[in-house]
Structure 1
Amino acid sequence: MSVRAKRVQAVITIGLLLFVLLLPQLALADSASISLSLSFARCGDVIQITVDVPAEGTYRICWGSPTAAGAVETFTTTGAGSRTIPFAIPTTAKGTYSVYLTTEAYVELAAAAFEVIPFAQIDPTEGPVSTNVTISGCGFAAGQDIRVSLSGTTTTTDRAGGDGSWTLSYTIPSTPGGSYVFEIEVQDAGAWVVWMERYFRVTPQISVSPPSGNVGQTVQVTGTGFASNEDDVQITFDGEVRKQDIPVQENGSWSAVITIPACQSGPHVIDASGVWTRARDIPDVEFIVGAGILLDPTMAYVGDTITVTGGGFLPGETGIRVTFQGQTVTPVLTADSTGSWEASFDLPPSTHGSNTVSARGDITAPVTFDLTTLARIESFSPVEGAPGDSVTLTGSGFHGNQQLTVLFDGNPAPGDLRTRANGDIVITFQVPATTVGMQTVVVRDGGGATDSVTFTVKEKILPSPAPMLPEDGSKRRPGEITFRWGGITGDTGITYVLEISNEAGNVVWSQSGIEEFSYLVPGDDLPHGTYYWRVKAVDEFLNESLWSSRSSFTIWTVPTWVWVIVGVAVVIVLMVVAYRETKFKVIE
């Protein structure tokens, strides 16, 4: 046999073998089929795959390719027939994919087309302010840009991965309660397109800080998710209103402080509501209460009545004692069946600021509350007077052993003025130099405690001094002139003001602060002429007398012609004398 004949025979033999091997597979393919309950769906959706197989054997369902990498299900049958298999669409990018029915060796028997469509979701779909929302998507185009907006404001962006999925997170900001829209946009041909909308509802919520405390303690209650500027917002404690007419901000949030009332120890409910926000829509907040006391008022003056209310003690507890700064101020008390009790006392002398009120029982450990003592002027006597007059002032609630400043219209009263150790004031001082009329007197200690009272400052007129020298109408030659007057006796700190004016009434010379009853004016200060002088008294508190009456005096000089006449007369006299002496000598 020739080589060519042998080659032809080999080809025929191989063809016959392949025909024998493929004939069964072709028969299987002709009789196998696959169908899908849906032709498109989202990632994660479950569809039903129905297959028809022609014979017994092991078969596979493949996604995307008839290979081991695409195998998603393997099953075995004992004969020809139909089978329905549930199938969850895997996370994959947007597009059309084939679902294959193959033999165990991944020989394709049948195929069906399936389209994956984009999908996005948010979790959760409602919650209060500060809720962390997860926004996720799948079935998008690989590498596609994603943008999420809340009510028109962009919140965050991302880019889809190779499998078409993406995940973003966003924290709900302070915003009024209600429904809001998350817009999911995709970039298409360079433009952003709203592809999907998802709704989120902001719910109201309150929080309490701290979450537990004692009777009498103040706690802060904060609300969010209420309506914008909502009216009639109130806070309740076990259903009883503790605060109302709370202002709400534009973003639906608010905050207020309440005081825990007297009640049994243990859990209690704090809630809130408004004109649109119902209490049942707000999760209750449980607050754990322990023993404590309440004071009314919490700021008071010495002598005021203070009411003390206790709560959280054991029901029927005995031996309850109330102290102020360690001093017992009430009788021994017994709690009622709810563990509450009430007593009162008058605020004893105490220093300015925070002081401690304490209560304890036979079983309950001491609980405290701060009471603020306020400064007060209690008396001011007399209520009117002139600068220099003595006045007495009493007060309480100031700091202990502190320097005091007493101001009349800003002018300090003289003297070393101090508070007592217990904060009381009992001082006597003189009214300082100040303006006449109704004034506010401010008392302030070194620690800053202060109070004020009104006082009428009257005018005080001192006796007027009497002019003595120079006498009225007198004439003086040029030179030093001593002015003298009758002074005021019996008072200290008196000084005098001397004033000299000319005939036209203009003051030409003056001097203040003169301590004596006389003053020497230099001769050069007053040239020839007629003058008028007067004097008045001033004390250390700037009280003044009226001006004395005016006295006049004249400073004069001898005219030249008088000196000429005098000279001529002297010459004549000398000549007469000389003549006589000469005559007498001749006769002799």
Structure 2
Amino acid sequence: MKLFKILSVAGMVFFLCLLVKTDYSVIAQKEREILILPSEGTIGDTIRVVGKGFNKSTGDFEAYAAIILSSEEATTDDDIDSDVTVYEFVAEGVLLNENGEFDISFELPAELNDGADKETVHVGTYYVYVCHYVINVLAPRISAVAEFDVILGNITIEPDRGTVGTSVKIIGTDFFSNEEIAINYDEMDLDIDSGDTKTDSSGEFTAYVIIPKSNAGIHHVAVIQLGNELVAEFFVEPDVTINPTSGESGTQVTVLGTGFSRRENVVIYFGASEVAEIPTDRVGDFVATFSVPELTAGLYKIEIDDGENIQTAKFTIISPPELPSLEPPIMPAVIEINRLAGSVGAEIVVSGTGFVKDGTVTIEYDNEVVASTNTDARGIFMASFNIPISAHGGHVMKISDDLNTKELTFTVESEAPSKPDLLVAGPLVAEQDTDILLDWEDVMDDSMPVTYELQLASNDSFSAESILLEEKGLTDSEYLMDSSKIKFLRPRSSYYWRVRAVDSAANAGEWAETVEIKIAAVTTMPGWLIYALILLGGLFIFFIWYRFRQAEKRSNQKEPRSQGK
């Protein structure tokens, strides 16, 4: 009877298992579908998930499912945890109605933390998985899959076309919140002139940049955040400046052009006459000069054509005085320069018209001659030089010949170099007869070369009275503190050192982290003293042994006498 009951129970359990297994297989074969609304979004967006064809709830049974977000691609033949290890439960215990449907929403998370492997959500394709619960336990088998694209956000630029030097406003929305942004122009770093350098708590920013020298046409402005980027287009339009804008026939006119086609010949027309032809450089810039043709007084159009782009300007020819002078008119000296601010080493190109013909022009920087060149038969010259080592701030450039002198102010950049990264960790322990190598990474800067300033002090506040050693103008990114310096430091004491970078524009960066140096106690003694102590110890042991032997002999001599008595 007992055996019969056991077999009956076992058979019932086996039968129930078959029922459960068969029911689950039938459910798995049903057509399941999930819809993601919208199909793309960014961190913090509300995402709606609509599903149908899943397990049905009945009056006696409630069916549940879980919604899972993952960066790993899988199919309905795969399992959570074994095949998908990076994921986040975005909805758990989702009730399935009597038709096997559900409609829920979740907020797109910034991290996937529920799986064995953790990951920060980034731009790209993600996968939404649905898994059933079986008897209140989540079944790992994936029941349905849908894709969702995480996007970075949106940017607009205002304006989206203009000349070189245009200030452009960049507005970003739906970016990652409270994160740094960087801006590239044709894959080159572009400084943010003003505005935000990171997003706010809503993932928004407004930044302003200046369009750099570049040739005519479409260029790409990219906003980069956490390795992801969004790109907008900016169309560079050519621009010309003429100097002067009026004068008599024969006047020398300088034409400065920016944003034309790259390395193309530019033809300049004055009215209907071709007066000059010159090639542009790699960024579409050029400097050209011509003489105003012999025409009657009036307003004339100057046309600048590179084959693809045409720009125009106006020039007014004025009548000569009634009594012409026997001497040719002296035109005022005019200077053009490619930049008036930059770093040490920046290339400066200076051109001029109206100087002494066939003369010599000298360019001085802070009263030091940095370039010298000759003018041509029309009094025109062009020269270039590199900004020498000089402190940040304004510096006077003087351009002069035997008759004309022009002064300009060049401003050297004042951005400090970054602080050095140390290659030695503290605290350092040293004895007085050893050397210590203090080492750090090289620092790069716009105003090269960079030198280093190092200090050693008796306390970590580096007050003036505590500084024991100060080295300036170090050219190597290391410093050997040899024993000749260390021997003057007190044993069993702590000292502190720090270093900072100083660029060629005298901009001093932040101090690197302070490192402690501990001077060990003196444990050695002179060799002669050691030998002397050993000798004294040996003599002392010999003395004790000798006294002991004398006492033993006297004792032995007394014993026979006492026996004889």
Into which bin does the TM-score normalised by the smaller protein fall? 0.3 to 0.5
More strand by share: 1
TM-score (norm 2): 0.33
Which of these two proteins has the greater Rg computed from alpha carbons? 1
TM-score (norm 1): 0.32
